[in-house]
Amino acid sequence: MKRNDDLGLLAHPDHFHDAIQIQDFQPERLRQFLRKMILIRLCEEKIGDKIAAKKIACPCHLAIGQEAVAVGLAENLRRDDHIFGTHRSHAQFLSVGGDPYRLFAEVLGRVDGASKGMGGSMHLFDREVGFTGSVPIVGGTVPLAVGAALSAKVQKKDFLGVCFFGDGATEEGVFHESMNLASALKLPVIFVCENNLFSSHLHIDLRQPSNSVARYADAHRINNIVLDGNDVVEVAKKTAPLIDEARANQTPVFIEAVTYRWRGHVGPSEDLDVGVKRGDDLPRWKKRDPIQRLVDGMTARSMLTDEDFRSLKEEIRKEVDETWDRAELSDFPDHSKLYDMVYAKERGDA
């Protein structure tokens, strides 16, 4: 498990631009990866456009550029797993099969939303697909995933607690408490850090003595891996044995997926003016595009033509456009909903 304490070339914007190695993955599976990543990107772009057009008011944190982490990982998760997200969870929600219509309706505050219009972008829910909930309190869901894993262990079931979080969350005390607890009690938790090198506006180099957070997993004796989060095949392939191990042996594992977000912390802008070095780096990071690299990899193996890619994108774009238009027609929650959901069996006081 010991390694160099920093990310090296993985954090360097001029590397990992080439086609990904598609290894022994079958074309159909790769096409599914591609479809999901395009769907996520186009949904996020749609949301970005609608924020700019003032159709959406709630804070939305877009994951454009980070699609491969959630999509690769979703390959190894099940619907009975308990997956917890963050403020930036649209991609995670969609990657496990969350409905784009319910995502759109939710960011619009409509009753057909994933949280019935009560949560907005930062509070998504769909237990049917394994997504137990997302919240914007940084690190807030990390101990919740540990608790879900405790439930699996007590009930002698083999579902997992899965928490996605960013590099910023590793600066929270509860993150360390949670890692220690999961390790001490031997609980099947998948800790997934989407390390996009930024917490809000501030680069990790200005926040931590090392840019790799997997060192914390070493400290808590949790089996871990650092990988290229913009390579969907690598994410799917390399996390599979760890996740299998967590399921079979009821142990925690830690995944650090290095990536980069193309948009700013919140909203559609690129935040070129707020982050140290971000203006220089962003165009270079865009060359580590998880979608284009998969397309290049498939093209090199004659599994995809330019025309295939173009038509797939157009087909999905049409779907996304129609879905958005439909979501805008969904109703707002009735006034009574303000009071109805405070408690399970009783109305809240007016």
Whole-number Å distance between alpha carbons of 301 and 299: 5
Q: Helix or strand or coil: residue 272?
A: coil
Nearest alpha carbon to residue 160 among 84, 247, 69: 247
53 binds other proteins (CB under 8 A): no
316 binds other proteins (CB under 8 A): no
**In whole angstroms, how close is the CB of 324 to other proteins at the nearest point?**
20
Q: Which stretch binds other proteins (CB under 8 A): 30-38, 49-57, 87-95, 112-120?
A: 112-120
Q: Which stretch binds other proteins (CB under 8 A): 180-188, 245-253, 273-281, 324-332?
A: 180-188
What per-residue string of b and e applies to 104-134 under the rule 16 or more CB within 10 Å gives b?
A: bbbbbbbebbbbbbbbbbbbbbbeebbbbbb
Q: Which stretch binds other proteins (CB under 8 A): 10-18, 59-67, 117-125, 216-224?
A: 117-125
Q: Which amino acid is residue 326, in one-letter code?
A: R
Closer residue to other proteins in complex, CB, 127/318:
127
Which member of 72, 100, 113, 275 binds other proteins (CB under 8 A)? 113
Nearest alpha carbon to residue 324 among 99, 117, 124, 92: 99
- Where in 59-98 is the site for other proteins (CB under 8 A)? 82, 84
Whole-number Å distance between alpha carbons of 69 and 204: 19
343 binds other proteins (CB under 8 A): yes
Residues in the chain: 350
Task: Let me know: does 27 contact 298? Beta carbons within 8 Å.
Answer: yes
Which member of 72, 98, 119, 290 binds other proteins (CB under 8 A)? 119
Which member of 30, 62, 68, 146 binds other proteins (CB under 8 A)? 146
Residues of the shown chain interacting with other proteins in the complex, contacts defined by CB under 8 A? 82, 84, 113-119, 123, 125, 127, 132-133, 135, 137, 140-155, 159, 161, 173-174, 177-178, 180-181, 184-185, 340-346, 348-349
